Amino acid sequence: MIETSDLHAGTPDHGPPVGPDLLSEMLKAVRLTGSVFLNACFSAPFGVVAPKYYDPVSPMAYLRHISIFHFIVAGNCTFEAGNGERREVTAGDLLFLPFAGHHRFWKGEPLVMAAAGEIVQPGRIEGMWTVNYGGGGDELRMVCGFLESSEFLFAPVFRTLPALIVEKMSEDKVGALIASTVQEIDLHVEAAAPGSQAMLGRLMELLFVELLRRHVARLPPGSKGWFAALNDPIVARTLQLLHADPARHWTVGQIADKVGSSRTIVAGRFNALLGRPPIEYVTSWRIQLAGERLRFGHESLASIAAGVGYQSEAAFSRAFKRVTGITPGKWRERTGSLAGLALGSASP
């Protein structure tokens, strides 16, 4: 996981000690789960088209967010993401599609591009499928996994990632950890032993965290968004404060005092990287936390309101409706009735 001490080198000595791990805190809030759903072998020539698993404009889409991993275990092929980005990928490559968009891959000159859903067969583990498809030539072996989260409208984990991330296994510390995790996943897939799905789920979550860690470390100067903010000492410390105590009635002056900077610098750098002032950000984060508590628990509105920093249920309800467009009660009703539907509607 990201060590915040690595992210704040050169930060002034003023302010709180480094912590918490911002990435970990955000990932807790979006409730990650994952597993492997496909063990596939293709032989050239072949061509496959995979559908779009996640539609961000569908009603209540934020109830479930699906991302897709492809591990190239052996062989090579051409891969094209839904945005037209094309990559030549080979054994050892890890492909990540944060929004599980439409994509395709092929080798040779296939006569047709097969629909992925039409060539899969049930595998030896419940929930995992297999594919054996193609013209009998050079083989490509691929293991595919998914990551599911309950990312809310305003949680920025996935929304500032590129449409396609390709990791090539390397010898550095993070690359070696990613490679060993992928190898462990492949071993569990091949073994298909009882209990494998639980272990595969944990491995997928670990893999995602390490992938994000590597993504943050590689961001070029001038990048914007939540991940770029982790590399900025002033903004990262500001985020630490807001995430550590979201219920506090923060002012920009208080934040500036804590991080050892001026109000102008804090507000300017935060707005430049995240596109909103710090106080607006913490309001959205409070609503994120409240939305999760409404969805998964049975607390009273008054208790939730107090827990996220509102002095009255009425003030909380107004803020919640301003951010989401509906009242907390309606949110609880809708998420309670649609969560099960959403969870069963887009299985990879």
- Name the residue ranges covered by the structural domains of the chain: 4-23+224-341, 31-218
Between the alpha carbon of residue 201 and those of residues 28, 29, 53, 123, 147, the distances in Å are 15, 18, 19, 17, 9
pLDDT of residue 213: 83
52 three-state secondary structure? coil
pLDDT of residue 316: 95
Return the CATH fold of 31-218. Answer: Jelly Rolls (2.60.120)
pLDDT of residue 24: 74
Q: What CATH class has 4-23+224-341?
A: mainly alpha
| CA–CA dist 47, 108 (Å, integer) | 8
pLDDT of residue 14: 37
In sequence order, the 6+-apart residues with CB closer than 8 A to the CB of 43 are 133, 134, 135, 136, 137, 138, 139, 140
pLDDT of residue 40: 92
Cα first-last separation, the chain: 27
Low-confidence ranges of the chain (pLDDT < 50): 1-20, 58-62, 338-348
91 three-state secondary structure? coil
Over residues 76-120, the pLDDT tens digits come to 999 999 889 999 999 989 999 988 888 999 999 999 999 998 999
